[in-house]
């Protein structure tokens, strides 16, 4: 059964700045609180496959991630079908009225070999909270101030 989490975070800096950071894998350990290891630390490109190790629900998740789609300053789509969790993550960037930008991350995920249906709401809430914390950390790093 697929779980879903979506979060939108305001950035006081432009989407070009945010896109550069999101599409450059070497920056992920700076803001992704669960990131332990990433095999590729350069820019993303469509079809790129890289390995990650992250902390998920207190466990280490080793996964292969593929860059499915990149549209400069607009969309980044990642997919992983290995490890503890299979997921599609889509980051959408847009200009914010009055300046700055908004990043929305839509995450659809499933646990491999784990049955957690009764905890669905709590799991989706935890995923949303983690996404929001990570994107707010990125906003602070890139824009020099906490996001709204």
Interatomic CA distance for residues 28 and 47, integer angstroms: 18
Say what the pLDDT of residue 123 is: 81
CB of 146 closer than 8 Å to CB of 11: no
Highest mean pLDDT: which of 72-81, 103-112, 124-133, 136-145? 72-81
pLDDT in tens, 104-125: 999 999 887 665 555 667 888 8
Give the residue-averaged pLDDT of 20-41.
96
Q: Which CATH superfamily is domain 3-143 in?
A: START domain (3.30.530.20)
What is this structure's pTM? Answer: 0.89
Q: Is the pLDDT of residue 145 over 80?
A: no
Task: List the domain boundaries for the chain.
Answer: 3-143
Q: Which residue carries 């997919």 as its tokens?
A: 79
Write phi, then psi, for 112 (nearest 5 degrees).
-90, 125
Predicted confidence band at 58 (pLDDT cuts at 50, 70, 90)?
confident
Give the residue-averaged pLDDT of 134-145.
92
Q: Within a 10 A sphere around the Cβ of 26, how many other Cβ atoms?
A: 12
Predicted confidence band at 97 (pLDDT cuts at 50, 70, 90)?
very high
14 Cα distance to chain centroid: 18
């Amino acid at each position: 059964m697929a779980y879903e989490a979506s979060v939108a975070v305001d950035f006081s800096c432009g989407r070009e700045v945010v896109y550069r950071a999101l599409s450059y894998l070497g920056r992920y350990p700076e803001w992704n609180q669960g990131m332990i290891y990433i095999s590729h630390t350069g820019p993303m490109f469509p079809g790129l496959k890289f390995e990650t190790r992250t902390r998920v629900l207190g466990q280490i998740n080793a996964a292969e991630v593929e860059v499915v789609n990149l549209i400069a300053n607009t969309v980044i789509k990642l997919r992983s079908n290995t490890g503890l969790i299979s997921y599609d993550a889509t980051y959408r960037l847009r200009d914010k009225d009055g300046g700055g930008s908004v990043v929305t991350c839509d995450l659809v995920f499933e646990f491999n070999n784990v049955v957690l249906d009764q905890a669905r709401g709590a799991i989706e809430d935890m995923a949303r909270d983690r996404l929001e914390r990570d994107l707010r950390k990125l906003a602070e790093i890139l824009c020099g101030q906490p996001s709204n």
